[in-house]
């Protein structure tokens, strides 16, 4: 069953003197529920933009993008916010709120889900413990190392049991050891039935995936099933 269905997806940005810049050009794909999908491509290929469209962080300029039957391009802002609660997004630069603690970065993400404070705290602490960040839960994000911030970002993305985890270049800022740990996490999530979508320029990650979509200049090459 498809979690996502994209039809002729396009995303243009205003490029100043260059006019419009086409970041995603006519992409059509489907992402199956429970799959581990990698969006592959070099820098500037459109991976981050496509991932942002899938994560409902931007609306497509043209085309159709369905998530569990909802059109992400035409639904209201309020509905889009509710759909984002079903997704967990890990940003390339982690995107933690710097002056909030590790725990608060996670509990803030749970507030819109209407959980009571005790439940939010419990989930946050469980996730931080799972990623070895229990002792640093009250440390502000600004004072965490890159690897620690990455773990908090993943913990935040997993908070609230989202239907899909999207990660933008999750290994680009990490050392080998941490990369290995992180990929093990993704494998574990996938093994438990979670849909995982990663973007990366590293072709070595494709061995982990069930599906690989390669992008070049905003266009999709022939899809590969692994």
Partner 1 sequence: MRHLLDIVSTGLESVLLHPLRSVVSFSALVIMLLPYLVGLGLAEGLRAEAVRSTQLGADLYVTGSQFGRPGPISLAAVSVIRQIDGVVAVTPRIVGEVVLGKERVHAVLVGLPPDFLPDWSDSINGELPHPGQFHELVIGTELARRLNLKVGDPLLPFYENHRGDRIARIVGIFKPDGPPWQANLILTTFDSAAYVFDQDGAATDLLVWCRPNEQANVSRAIARRLSLRDVPGQAIARPRVTSREDLLALLPQGLLHREGVFNLHFVVVFVVGILVLLVSSGLGLPERRREIGILKATGWQTDELLLRGVVESVALSLAATCTSILLAWLWLRVGNGYGIAALFLGGTGAAPNIRVPFRLSPVPALLALVLSLVVMLSGTLYSSWRAATAPPREAMR
Q: Cβ of residue 129: shortest distance to partner 1, in angstroms?
A: 20
Task: Indicate the residue among 19 and 77 with the shorter CB distance to partner 1.
Answer: 77
Of the residues 15, 112, 146, 223, which one makes contact with partner 1 according to CB under 8 A: 112
User: What tokens does 113 get?
Assistant: 């889900």
* Contact stretch for partner 1 (CB under 8 A) within 23-31, 110-118, 175-183, 191-199: 110-118
Task: Indicate the residue among 168 and 208 with the shorter CB distance to partner 1.
Answer: 168
HEC assignment per residue over the chain: CEEEEEEEEEEEEECHHHCEEEEEEEEEEEEECCCEEEEECCCCCCHHHHHHHHCCCCCCCEEEEEECCEECCCCCHHHHHHHHCCEEEECCCCCCCCCCEHHHHHHHHHHHHCCCHHHHHHHHHHHHHHCCCHHHCCCEHHHCCHHHHHHHHHHHHHCCCCCEEEEECCCCCCCHHHHHHHHHHHHHHHHCCCEEEEEECCHHHHHHCCEEEEEECCEECCCEEC
Q: Note whether 132 binds partner 1 by CB under 8 A.
A: no
Task: Indicate the residue among 52 and 179 with the shorter CB distance to partner 1.
Answer: 52
Q: Note whether 151 binds partner 1 by CB under 8 A.
A: no
HSE on the CB side for 216, CA within 13 Å?
4
Q: Note whether 114 binds partner 1 by CB under 8 A.
A: yes
Of the residues 8, 28, 71, 111, which one makes contact with partner 1 according to CB under 8 A: 111
User: Is-contact 39 33, C-beta < 8 A?
Assistant: no
Site for partner 1 in 31-70 (CB under 8 A): 52, 55, 57-59
Task: Indicate the residue among 9 and 209 with the shorter CB distance to partner 1.
Answer: 9
Number of residues forming the site for partner 1 (CB under 8 A): 28
Of the residues 21, 66, 100, 189, which one makes contact with partner 1 according to CB under 8 A: 100
* Contact stretch for partner 1 (CB under 8 A) within 20-28, 79-87, 126-134, 171-179: 79-87
Residues that bind partner 1 (CB under 8 A): 52, 55, 57-59, 77-78, 81-82, 84-85, 89, 91, 95-97, 99-100, 108-109, 111-114, 116-117, 156, 160
């Amino acid at each position: 069953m498809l979690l996502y269905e994209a039809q002729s997806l396009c995303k243009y940005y205003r490029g100043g003197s260059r006019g419009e810049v086409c970041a995603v050009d006519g992409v059509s794909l489907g992402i199956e529920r429970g799959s581990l999908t990698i969006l592959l491509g070099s820098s500037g290929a459109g991976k981050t933009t496509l991932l942002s469209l899938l994560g409902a962080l931007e609306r497509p300029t043209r085309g159709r993008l369905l998530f569990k039957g909802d059109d992400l391009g035409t639904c209201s802002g309020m509905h889009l916010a509710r759909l984002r609660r079903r997704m967990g997004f890990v940003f390339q630069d982690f995107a933690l709120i710097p002056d909030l603690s590790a725990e608060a970065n996670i509990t803030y993400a749970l507030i819109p889900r209407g959980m009571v404070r005790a439940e939010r705290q419990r989930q946050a602490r469980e996730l931080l413990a799972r990623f070895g960040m229990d002792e640093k839960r009250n440390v502000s994000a600004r004072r965490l190392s890159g690897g620690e911030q990455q773990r908090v970002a993943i913990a935040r993305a997993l908070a609230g049991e989202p239907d899909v985890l999207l990660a933008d270049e999750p290994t680009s800022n990490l050392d080998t050891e941490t990369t290995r740990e992180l990929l093990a996490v993704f494998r574990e999530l996938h093994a438990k039935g979670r849909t995982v979508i990663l973007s990366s320029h590293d072709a070595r990650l494709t061995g982990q995936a069930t599906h690989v979509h390669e992008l070049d200049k905003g266009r999709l090459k022939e899809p590969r099933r692994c």
